[in-house]
Structure 1
Amino acid sequence: MASSHKLTPVKTLRSQARKHIEQGAVTAGYSADRPKVLKMLNEALATEIVCVLRYRRHHFMARGIHGQSVGAEFLVHSNEEQGHADLLAARIVQLGGEPDFSPDSLSERSHAEYLPGKTLSDMIRENLVAERIAIDSYRDMIRYLGDQDPTTSDLLKQILAVEEEHADELADLLEGMPTDKV
């Protein structure tokens, strides 16, 4: 079924493209609240950076019979979270904003917490909790954006899919993991 939305005449597209060219990717057709989207993306960036740091610590601190294999998985997740952070930072710049990498306010802006965990099962649990927070945060952001910013929405959906994979992998690792072993 065809959409009832009419296409913008080419002459109008050409005219609009010449206006405010310094805004780059942000054209007259961008209908989202840009300052709110930039704030939201910077919070997501902070969340990803906190996750990178927590996973990286856990990679080095993983001990015990499963420590090597679980630690290797933490490293993979850390690297993937860094990739998410890079994608978010690039989108922030595309939208005319500045990615906030300030360590001073990182934990305040992050939706996830940085909890070190003492045992391997604690580490897995903390990472799983953080992934579940990220999943719900990304879902909220995607719903908020609706169809106002399809590029950002698609980016967040791409990241969400990986976060769901992480949560599934961590839940599998947690299954049968003794709670009192390091």
Structure 2
Amino acid sequence: MSNKPASQPQGSFVMDVQKIREQARKHMSDGSVTQSYSADKETVLKLLNDALATEIVCTLRYKRHHFMAKGINSEAVATEFAEHAAEEQEHADRFAERIVQLGGAPDFAPDSLKTRSHSEYKEGGNLTDMIRENLIAERIAIDTYREIIRYLGDNDITTRRIFEDVLAVEEEHADDMADLLEGRE
């Protein structure tokens, strides 16, 4: 007996569960990438690996700034840098997990991080420069992640949601850096 009704009222929802079951058994080695996955997987893996590189570079920059923060109010700013570094590392981990889910390999190669990262690793000569460089990097991440979200659309909803979640945190980071910078300029 088929799961499909003989006639379908307009606007009704129908799916061929039997076909879905058969495809699931037939393509088990593809893991979470099913027949309905409509994105270009190789492009998505590249975008994820580039985002992974971006988050690693941001983690490293925030870590350096945390330890190098000096001057008036530097303790509070250093604490903010440390919190952001931990959140950037969480983003990197999420991207790496998704790469593996899609059957790829996360690229942690140090020699290519700089060229794959959307943002740059800028040390900053003083606390104000550090805040400024972090704000610039956050703004770059915001714009590049928005572009990726638009590209993904409905073709890979799970990856899009990860980018949306990360984007929301990057916007918070940018606001934090802008607030810190406001009192210094």
Bucket of the pairwise TM-score, normalised by the shorter protein: over 0.9
Check if 1:144 corresponds to 2:147.
no
1:164 counterpart (164, 168, 171)? 171
Cα drift, residue 73 of structure 1: 0.2
Which of these two proteins has the greater Rg computed from alpha carbons? 2
Structure 2 partner of 1:153: 160
CA deviations 1:74-124 (Å, max 9, x no partner) are 000000000000000000000000000000100000000000001100000
Alignment of 1:1-182 (within 5 A): 6-178=13-185
Cα drift, residue 9 of structure 1: 1.4
Q: Quick one: distance in 1 between partners of 2:37 and 2:119?
A: 29
Q: Quick one: distance in 1 between partners of 2:49 and 2:136?
A: 20
Stretch moving more, 121-130 or 169-178: 169-178
Q: Quick one: distance in 1 between partners of 2:53 and 2:36?
A: 28
Q: Quick one: distance in 1 between partners of 2:63 and 2:176?
A: 17
TM-score by length of 2: 0.93
Cα drift, residue 8 of structure 1: 2.1
Helix, strand or coil for the counterpart of 1:105?
Answer: helix
Cα 1:4–1:31 change in 2 (3 A) is farther
Runs of at least 4 residues of structure 1 off by over 3 A? 3-7
Bigger relative contact order, structure 1 or 2, given CA contacts below 8 A and separation 6+? 1
CA deviations 1:53-80 (Å, max 9, x no partner) are 0000000000001111000000000000
Q: Quick one: distance in 2 between partners of 1:40 and 1:8?
A: 31
TM-score by length of 1: 0.94
Q: Quick one: distance in 2 between partners of 1:129 and 1:174?
A: 11
Q: Quick one: distance in 2 between partners of 1:4 and 1:131?
A: 43
Q: Quick one: distance in 1 between partners of 2:52 and 2:25?
A: 32
Identity %: 62
Helix, strand or coil for the counterpart of 1:72?
Answer: helix
Q: Quick one: distance in 2 between partners of 1:33 and 1:7?
A: 26
Report how many residues are paired. 176
